[in-house]
Amino acid sequence: MLQGVLIAESLRVGAQLTGIPLQITKLTRVEMTNRGDHQPRHWTLLEFSAEESAAERLADQLSSCLASSGGWYTDFHTADETFVIFANKVFRYPRGQAEGRSEAQHYGRSVGVPEQQLDWQV
């Protein structure tokens, strides 16, 4: 199973994720102290899991669902790989690979993700 976290507020208006069964494993509402300038104060975190075989399709669909402004991304991982997804951009690399993580973090900075939010699981 793959596992990840999606921030509901990161979805663009009108976005739809279809055809990939997700299991919501935890739903949490939090107040953010390290939010970006254009991010809301309160976030809804959706921790999810899905079949590993859906990883590539899920990453592609999420990249078309995320808002392109506001410094948003989502991430998930399988047993072997990490996926970091931005609007219209997907990074995929072997878990624990410093180079892949660094490339995704560099891109995140370029689209306005605050430094303290570039902390996804390896």
pTM higher than 0.75, yes or no?
Answer: yes
Q: Is 39 exposed, middle or buried (0-12, 13-18, 19+ CB in 10 A)?
A: buried
Q: What six digits make up the tokens of 22?
A: 């997700």
pLDDT at residue 6 is higher than 80: yes
Least Cα distance to 110 among 83, 82, 89, 81 occurs for 89
- How much is the pLDDT for 122? 67
Cβ atoms within 10 Å, residue 29: 9
Residue 87 — φ and ψ, nearest 5°?
A: -60, 120
CB 20 within 8 A of CB 2: no
pLDDT in tens, 70-116: 889 999 999 999 999 999 999 999 999 999 999 999 999 999 998 88
pLDDT at residue 121 is higher than 80: no
pLDDT at residue 31 is higher than 90: yes
